[in-house]
Amino acid sequence: MGLALEKLPDWPAGMNREMALAYTGVSGEQMKEWERSGKVQFRPRGPRGQMLALRSTLDAALAELFGAAAGGAPEF
DSSP string, 8-64: -SS--SEE-HHHHHHHH---HHHHHHHHHHTSS--EE-SGGG-EEEEHHHHHHHHHH
Q: How much of the chain exceeds pLDDT 90, in percent? A: 64
Can you give the pLDDT at residue 73?
A: 53
pLDDT over threshold 60, residue 15:
yes
Those residues whose C-beta lies under 8 Å from the C-beta of residue 33, and which sit 6 or more positions away, are: none
Those residues whose C-beta lies under 8 Å from the C-beta of residue 61, and which sit 6 or more positions away, are: 24, 34, 39, 40
pLDDT over threshold 80, residue 70:
no
Can you give the pLDDT at residue 65?
A: 92
pLDDT over threshold 70, residue 5:
no
Can you give the pLDDT at residue 47?
A: 82
pLDDT over threshold 90, residue 69:
no
